[in-house]
Structure 1
Amino acid sequence: MKRALVVSHVAYEGIAGYRAPIEAAGYAIERVPACATDFAVLDMIAPDLLVVMGGPMGVYDTADYPWIAPEIDGIAARIAVGRRTLGVCLGSQMIAAALGARVYPGHGPEVGFAPLANLDMESPLAHLAGVAMLHWHGDTFDLPAGARRLASTARYANQAFAVGDHVLALQFHGEMGEDPRFETWVDEGGAMIAAAGLDAAALRRDHAALGPLAVRAGQRMLADWLDGPG
């Protein structure tokens, strides 16, 4: 059986809805918490799939999170040898940094359910057309050299990119929409929610109404990508 290694940065950001397509593609899932992992010795090249999840920290917060720099180094080494790698939110920012792109605080938080624009309809993200996906970030990044932009929003141009067939970086959350850990996101994210001009009650309503559709679309997208070369 193929092996998928999932790197989690906080307990409330797991693979959620992405579990089903990953397991359906024949992967056995293993997890490591970043805060307790020595990335200088962890073999990040060996797994058949690496999934780097999200978190509230930024890639530039290396003084507070000393594991960030060696994790990015491990991602860079893996990408350099063409191994299949998926990044979600912070994970997408780490991939961008591993490819030499600048990652930095954006001009305001992007929070809540909204559709993507400028979708690359020749990519697996075609499954997301017209579907409101969950956004929950305040950082952004420059498009790495050699990467193909796959989606945008009005606020942030780089919502997703690919490198060849083996790297997929997603700023938005196609895995979330039915996971009960969303309650922790809302509870922990009061300041970010307010800065985005939203309120917790509206987010919960949108999660109930739009979340299941977002998860189904995200699962189709990921299944398509995993079924391709890479």
Structure 2
Amino acid sequence: MYHTGWMESGQSQRPKILTVLHQEHSSPGRVGQLLLEAGFALDIRRPPLGDPLPETLEDHAGAVIFGGPMSANDPEAFVKAETEWLSVPLAEDKPFLGICLGAQMLANHLGGRVGPHPEGLVEIGWYPLESTEAGRALMDWPSMVYHFHREGFELPQTATLLATGSSYPNQAFRYGKNAWGVQFHAELTRAMMHRWVVRGAERFTLCGAQQGRDHLEGRMIYDAVLRAWLHRFLAAIFGEPALV
């Protein structure tokens, strides 16, 4: 079992956010940092490594499912189990955020298909983002965001589209009051982006992908706005914790 239940000293009395990662050395990055700074604790689980997901979120203030190299359509048992588990936050109306793979799992759970671009395009690097009218009513959105994916998702029925892009039109959505999905990555620290650029270099030859230097140069230009947006976005989803 690799269940860390990341609880630093002094976190035990903080409301917990279930934090679902998909590789042994994956990190919640800036999402984790900002949630900790806001007063939450992180309960980190890695289902591919054997960690169970809770049957209820009654002891959690919400949940985040992050990305990973796998597909939401993969046959592995943990992919199916995570996708089905989403009935828990939806039934209990607990705040939930899906990022990239997590958003695709949410879309699948709600009946939206997940798959590659019909022309084989990928989004790997920095790409323009445009908020919808519904998105603008919630907050200001960044004009450029960071991606690292080869598949996208259909907008589930009754979900509200919050942001769109040219190659993959469904970039962010909200379902009901408390379920959110985003296709892009605002959580990467500088160190995380460097690791992704090194370890994912073979994907830079895919149609539409940007070269590694463009990833790093784009960060210097666009990341400050993206980080500020992430701070507002997490506050909109999870609010301020009620300390116990």
Is residue 2:27 matched to residue 1:34?
Answer: no
Equivalent in 105, 112, 118 of residue 101 of structure 1: 112
Could you tell me the percent identity over the aligned residues?
Answer: 25
CA spacing shift, 1:224–1:200, aligned 2, 3 Å? same
Contact 1:8–1:32 (CA under 8 A) maintained in structure 2: yes
- Where do residues 46-57 of structure 1 align in structure 2 (5 Å cutoff)? 46=58, 47-57=60-70
- The normalised TM-score by structure 1 is 0.87
Q: CA deviation at 1:192?
A: 2.2
Contact 2:122–2:209 (CA under 8 A) maintained in structure 1: no
**What's 2:101 paired with?**
90
SS of residue in 1 equivalent to 2:64: strand
**What's 2:127 paired with?**
114
Q: CA deviation at 1:226?
A: 2.2
Contact 1:159–1:171 (CA under 8 A) maintained in structure 2: yes
2: CA distance, partners of 1:113 / 1:6: 25
SS of residue in 2 equivalent to 1:121: helix
**Greater shift in the superposed pair: 133-142 or 210-219:** 210-219
Q: CA deviation at 1:197?
A: 4.3
2: CA distance, partners of 1:38 / 1:226: 24
**Greater shift in the superposed pair: 218-227 or 1-10:** 218-227
Structure with greater Cα Rg: 2
**Greater shift in the superposed pair: 11-20 or 110-119:** 11-20
2: CA distance, partners of 1:72 / 1:11: 20
2: CA distance, partners of 1:88 / 1:109: 17
Q: Deviations over 1:72-112 (max 9, x none)?
A: 11112321231211100001001111112211122321121
CA spacing shift, 1:16–1:127, aligned 2, 3 Å? farther
Structure 2 unaligned residues grouped into runs of 5+ = 1-13
> How many residues matched?
221
SS of residue in 2 equivalent to 1:128: coil
Q: Which amino acid aligns with 1:74?
A: W
Contact 1:175–1:219 (CA under 8 A) maintained in structure 2: no
Q: Which amino acid aligns with 2:145?
A: M
**Greater shift in the superposed pair: 91-100 or 16-25:** 16-25
Question: What is the aligned-residue RMSD (CA, Å)?
Answer: 2.0
